[in-house]
């Protein structure tokens, strides 16, 4: 039976093991050890939206694991000319061992997964970004050690990254507070699920409007763009709504002295995060970006390698 990674909750039972595998693959890679566990395997990567980190890290991950990745923009596929998602999934499943998909709509992600006979990995859609959150949790673990009980404050738009973070933090018994304007709070159903999971694992979820209150005493301060891909028409309205939600040095000073600052990137410097914070001593954004590679290797080995 094939396994997919559409939501971070799909790896609920394997989350700790995946983080450990990510760390051990990272250590091996740092030591110059080569593991060709996916030798001869191919990965199709369908992108409806641009990408730097996700595309490159998946491609490099496949190369380093001895396999091969094919980058497929929708403009180059018959998908762009009206072939259905279902038929695309059925055909690609005859050629490749896994499909990475970056989609505009979560429904399209589900449709591809439903008709594919090989694992489908969500490389971001309008609801979730699970691969990002695996790398984020790996980064928090590296920097902070024990995860349970840590406070992560997410400031800004309650978007796909925020949704997956809510679920991921809940699964590890962390406390997550979202500081966002009322009209931009996270998905209601995700929020309900995150609260239920957090209660089960001893963590907590809180939504507040005041960004200062959100970051108070936080171990991790996290932000993302105010205008996600696909929301460009709302730019002016969003920039106005989020004006008071910038992660700047004043906001960071309300968090713990040893807090780390995270951002999934790409960042819009001077908007959701200032230059001095992005480049400052609390920032771990480049380690976080690097960890995309190690965490995704673990996902590929887990889903394609049959571990
Ligand atoms: N964080 C992230 O997913 O970046 P890309 O859009 O560059 O892939
Ligand atoms: N929330 C952002 C994340 C980019 C990696 C977006 O969807 O555009």
pLDDT at 135: 98
Ligand 1 atom closest to Cα of 102? 8
Binding pocket residue ranges, ligand 1, CB within 6 Å = 51-54, 124, 132, 264-266
Q: Which residue out of 125, 138, 266, 299 has the highest number of ligand 1 atoms within 8 Å of its CB and is therefore the one to mutate?
A: 266
Ligand 2 atom closest to Cα of 231? 8
Q: Which two tokens stand for residue 77?
A: 């596929």
- Spatial CB neighbours of 214, under 8 Å, sequence gap ≥ 6: 153, 154, 155, 177, 178, 179, 208
Does the pLDDT of residue 81 top 80, yes or no? Answer: yes
Phi (first) and psi of residue 223, to 5 degrees? -140, 165
Residue 234 has what DSSP assignment? G
pLDDT at 307: 52
pLDDT at 35: 83
Q: Same CATH topology for 8-128+292-304 and 133-288?
A: yes
Give the least confident one: 10-14, 21-25, 34-38, 94-98.
Answer: 34-38
Strands (E) located in 35-159: 42-47, 68-73, 98-102, 120-122, 151-155
Q: Ligand 2 mean position to 159 CA, how many Å?
A: 8
- Spatial CB neighbours of 226, under 8 Å, sequence gap ≥ 6: 156, 157, 238, 239, 241, 242, 245, 268, 271, 272
pLDDT in tens, 136-174: 999 999 999 999 999 999 999 999 999 999 999 999 999
pLDDT in tens, 20-70: 999 999 999 999 998 889 999 999 999 999 999 999 999 999 999 999 999
Residues with a catalytic annotation lie at 102, 129, 132, 224, 264, 292
pLDDT in tens, 252-289: 999 999 999 999 999 999 999 999 999 999 999 999 99
Task: Give the start-to-end residue ranges of the domains of the chain.
Answer: 8-128+292-304, 133-288
pLDDT at 156: 98
Contact call for residues 295 and 61 (beta carbons, < 8 A): no
pLDDT in tens, 175-211: 999 999 999 999 999 999 999 999 999 999 999 999 9
Q: Which ligand is the nearest neighbour of the Cα of 122? A: 1
133-288 is classed CATH 3.40.50.1370: yes
Does the pLDDT of residue 244 top 90, yes or no? Answer: yes
Q: Which residue out of 48, 54, 228 has the highest number of ligand 1 atoms within 8 Å of its CB and is therefore the one to mutate?
A: 54
- The pTM of this model reads 0.98
Coil, helix or strand at residue 131: helix
Closest alpha carbon to 95 in 122, 115, 78, 70: 70
Topology (CATH) of 8-128+292-304: Rossmann fold (3.40.50)
Q: Ligand 1 mean position to 46 CA, how many Å?
A: 14
């Amino acid at each position: 039976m094939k396994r997919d990674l559409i939501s971070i909750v799909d790896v609920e039972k394997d989350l700790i093991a995946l983080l450990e595998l990510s760390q051990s693959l990272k250590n091996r890679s740092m030591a110059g050890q080569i593991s060709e566990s996916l030798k001869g395997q191919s990965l199709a990567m369908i992108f409806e939206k641009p990408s730097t980190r996700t595309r490159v890290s998946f491609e490099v991950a496949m190369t380093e694991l001895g396999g091969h990745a094919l980058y497929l923009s929708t403009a180059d596929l018959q998908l762009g000319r009206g072939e259905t998602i279902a038929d695309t999934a059925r055909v690609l499943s005859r050629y490749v061992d896994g499909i990475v998909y970056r989609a505009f709509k979560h429904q399209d992600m589900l449709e591809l997964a439903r008709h594919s006979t090989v694992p489908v990995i969500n490389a971001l859609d309008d609801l979730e970004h699970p691969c990002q959150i695996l790398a984020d949790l790996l980064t928090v673990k590296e920097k902070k050690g024990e995860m349970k009980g840590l406070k992560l404050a997410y400031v800004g738009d309650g978007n796909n990254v925020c949704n997956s973070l809510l679920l991921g933090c809940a699964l590890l018994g962390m406390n997550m507070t979202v500081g966002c304007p009322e009209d931009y709070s996270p998905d209601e159903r995700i929020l309900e699920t995150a609260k239920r999971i957090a209660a089960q694992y001893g963590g907590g979820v809180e939504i507040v409007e005041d960004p200062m209150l959100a970051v108070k005493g936080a171990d991790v301060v996290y932000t993302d763009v105010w205008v996600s891909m696909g929301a460009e028409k709302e730019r002016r309205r969003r920039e106005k709504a989020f004006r008071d939600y910038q992660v700047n040095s004043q906001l960071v000073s309300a968090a713990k002295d040893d807090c780390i600052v995270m951002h999934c990137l790409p960042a819009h410097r001077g908007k959701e995060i200032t230059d001095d914070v992005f480049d400052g001593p609390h920032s771990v954004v480049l380690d976080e970006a690097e960890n995309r590679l190690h965490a995704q290797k673990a996902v590929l080995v887990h889903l394609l390698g049959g571990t």
